[in-house]
Structure 1
Amino acid sequence: MIKENLLSVEQCIIEAAKKRQATMSKKIKLIAVTKNHTVAEMREAIDAGADTIGENRVQEAWEKYGQLDRQVAWHLIGHLQTNKVKHAVKMFDFIESVDSIKLAETIDKEAAKLNKIQNILIQVNLVKELSKTGIYIEDLNALLQDVDNLSSLKLQGLMFIAPNLDNLEQVRPMFKKMYTLFEKVKHLHFHNADIRYLSMGMTHDYKIAVEEGANIVRVGTAIFGPRQY
């Protein structure tokens, strides 16, 4: 069933991209979100073609990391506490949830110890939801410039988590605003950054996110079914 679900999501991404001519020629990265799913399920998805997985919690990812026995890119998409950075840098190809200079500096320090350039995205809290982490827009420029000065980080774009609203059309203007912001950031002067990714959209809203310019989407339930808690 996972294989069929994965193919269905991939087809939906293709159809959504067709509605937005600007993204038709660009590769849209699908992250299979494996939070609360088993290593066996992860293997099934990878064997069916998933090449990138996303985890929300460092501890859960660490427990799976040594068992998976598959070549796959790992993205951290959940909030990262500074005391978990050491393990996160060892595992994750991308950390999508950087939202403060303190966290960025801690990641930079641990990456330097491993002679690693850590790819990161900056998480933006567009609508200032108190239940979500992320930098506010008015503080973004300062963080972008500070991060660009950290030599063991490679800033590659922005990440956004939209509110979970019943009327999906209400999130469309948010995705539009994030795309506008992303395009603005791409044209800023950086020494070290390579702004190429806009990560937004999950199971309930990824189609709209792609229509509005996302080139990374994070999908779990539509691939694996409801999480087992």
Structure 2
Amino acid sequence: MNAEELVAVTAQHVERLFAGEGSGHDWWHIKRVWQNALKIGAQEKADLTVVQLGALLHDIADWKFHGGDEEAGPRAAATWLREQEAPETLISDVCQIIREVSFKGAGVDTTPSTLEVQVVQDADRLDAIGAIGIGRAFAYGGFKGREMYHPHQEPLLHASFEEYKKNQGPTLNHFYEKLFLLKERLNTTAGRQLAQERHSYMQEFVRQFLLEWHGEEPAPAAFHLQAN
């Protein structure tokens, strides 16, 4: 099959797999990432076949739901693409996106190795911030049985991926441990432009959340908002 057909059949496959998923990693998340990756990739003149397949398959077997196995996603994607008789070079490029797309902790360098990884990583991170990012964060926290917020449990800036994978903190901590950091870690001009408004929206949400929680009392210093 040609590239357009491969993208179409992969989209259908992923939609079947993730329809109704309740943690915020559902088909609609994947579709939003796919569409944003396509827009950003066109502006950046990336290989749009690689970008689209990487976006569609980036969560196919996320380590968060597979015992922390970082190779579960690349394996599942490679199996699917080989079943569709995709070229090995294409499979390798797509799997590279899946390996590199994830945030792995505040202190972990996740600089992409290719333009196509940059594009999909930006599209995925854009869906983690703003109004939808807020909804997804609390959906995932509820899915994992986590508290929304605990004023005496401070955010942690994880120095390694292993530390990050073990994190069980309240959902509001996730804003400080990841979501507020993403704006400055986007790769493309288009991604950075889209991120600014979403970042500001999250800041206002957290400010209001803490105001409603603490009333006139100030929130603990660890939860002071970043200025930028």
Higher helix share: 2
So what's the TM-score if we normalise by structure 1? 0.28
So what's the TM-score if we normalise by structure 2? 0.29
